[in-house]
Amino acid sequence: MSMIKGIREKYRPKKIGSVRLGIKVPDIDKGTGKQRTRHGEPATRPQATPYFVVESAVQELYGEKPITLPIFFLENTIERVLPTALAVFAGNGSVRCMGDGERVTYRSHYNPQTKQGETLIHSRVARWDRIKEMGLDEIWAREGTYGTIEQVGNTVKCLFRDCPQFCSWGCRHTGWFRFSIKDIIKQGYWQMVIHLNPMEQLLSQLENAMLFVEQYCGRPTLMHAEYVLELTGPEKKWVKTKNGSMLTEMWTPELELDPKWMKRAMEGKVALPRLESIITEADIWAPEQEAEMDNELLEDLPYDPTPEGEDDNPPF
């Protein structure tokens, strides 16, 4: 029995947990020595840690503060293992705006009077009737918000580096790294939110791993190899914040093929499963499908050394 078109492409493993690169600590005002507040609540900021912040199931196997994790992947393309976007997060961890550098793929509006949120751009499609009815096309075009709202068909142009939100505490390169952890017998993936520098490194390391597997095993694949994820550092870097630049220590996740697995592969002792699906001419020339918004990308508040810098009274 065949699957319905549009449904058969929707397979995705479920998220079973998070691996984080930091913890939340009180946001202390250096002038007064007191904890800042945001919307009447005590404010916190993310602080990097020299270890992976993991859940109890992982701690039982690899310790309370592991710096290495043996992992593998459930997907076979880099785009599914490490989806990326330009994203602006609200203080509660929800996404305000997301784009790909060309078009805005997602944008929501929070009404402080009604305390209700509304999604106005989803999968690149803009609800222009509601945007104009609420006057948001004028609000979003003001200085300090999202810049000029340029309509392209039924989509909105992403201004990327020209957007007023593009900064270390606003719109940033964001990636959602998805992997399984060895010896945890549970169906699904763990997710780690990363930003520009580790994102670029992990993308390169994934590409290099696929080239190695192709050289010694016959075809490029991510699913059938074993990896080690390691946190390296510290490295001191200047980070820009709303209150100025600060020198902070950073630890970077690095990925490599497991050396023992590499040795077996180089000795010809690794056999990949046979490909069962046959690529047809229809597969090659099928029309490209528009990528849809992955709602699971909207769940996690990113952790990095950059303090939270959300406006107390955002204009949107």
Angle at 193 between CA 232 and CA 309, to 5 degrees: 100
Give the number of other CB atoms < 10 A from CB of residue 287.
Answer: 5
pTM (2 decimals)? 0.82
pLDDT, tens digit only, all 316 positions of the chain:
566 666 655 667 889 999 999 888 888 877 788 888 876 778 777 788 999 999 999 999 999 999 999 999 999 999 999 999 999 988 677 889 999 999 999 999 987 777 788 999 999 999 999 999 999 999 999 888 898 899 999 999 999 999 999 988 889 999 999 999 999 998 899 999 998 889 999 999 999 999 999 999 999 999 999 999 999 988 877 777 666 677 778 899 999 999 999 999 999 999 888 876 545 545 444 454 444 445 555 554 444 444 344 333 333 3
CA dist 128 and 146 (Å) reads 16
Q: How many residues does the chain have?
A: 316
Cβ atoms of 128 and 136 within 8 Å: the answer is: no
Beta strands (DSSP E) in 58-103 are: 68-72, 84-89, 95-99
Please name which of 111, 163, 112, 165 lies closest in space to residue 120, comparing C-alpha atoms: 111
Please give the single-letter amino acid code of residue 48. A
Cβ atoms of 205 and 192 within 8 Å: the answer is: no
Residue 79 CB contacts under 8 Å (≥ 6 apart), including other chains = none
CA dist 215 and 65 (Å) reads 35
Confidence at residue 252, expressed as pLDDT on a 0 to 100 scale: 93
Residue 131 CB contacts under 8 Å (≥ 6 apart), including other chains = 120, 137, 149
CA dist 214 and 314 (Å) reads 50
Element (H, E) at 224: none
Please name which of 94, 51, 60, 81 lies closest in space to residue 190, comparing C-alpha atoms: 81
